[in-house]
Amino acid sequence: MASDPITTISVHSSTRRLLESVKGSGESYDELLQELVEAHYPPSFITELRSRIKNSRRYPAEQVFREARV
């Protein structure tokens, strides 16, 4: 995803400190967040999300879970 534009997201200072405390040396916040998402959700969910993102479709996670049969 190196060609993706860089963006910012708003988080509370406490959330940033939490992320900073688990981020590895040399690891970007992008890498950390992707790792956390992939560790939390099953592969079928991630595949469905990536498909929807590619097709510019946005749905609540609950709907993606139902449709991905997770």
pLDDT bracket for residue 19 (50, 70, 90) = very high
In the prediction, which pLDDT does 33 show? 93
| Domain-embedded: residue 61 | yes
| Domain-embedded: residue 27 | no
Evaluate whether 68 touches 48 at the Cβ level (below 8 Å). Answer: yes
Instruction: Write out the residue range of the structural domain in which residue 68 sits.
Output: 42-70
| Domain-embedded: residue 12 | no
| Domain-embedded: residue 37 | no
Helix (H/G/I), strand (E/B), else coil: 25 = coil
> Can you give the pTM of this predicted structure?
0.66
| Domain-embedded: residue 65 | yes
Q: Report which listed range, 2-6, 7-11, 43-47, 51-55, is most confident.
A: 7-11
| Domain-embedded: residue 26 | no
| Domain-embedded: residue 60 | yes
In the prediction, which pLDDT does 29 show? 93
Burial label for 19, CB within 10 Å (0-12, 13-18, 19+), is middle
In the prediction, which pLDDT does 48 show? 82
Q: Report which listed range, 17-21, 44-48, 60-64, is most confident.
A: 17-21
**How many independent structural domains does the chain possess?**
1
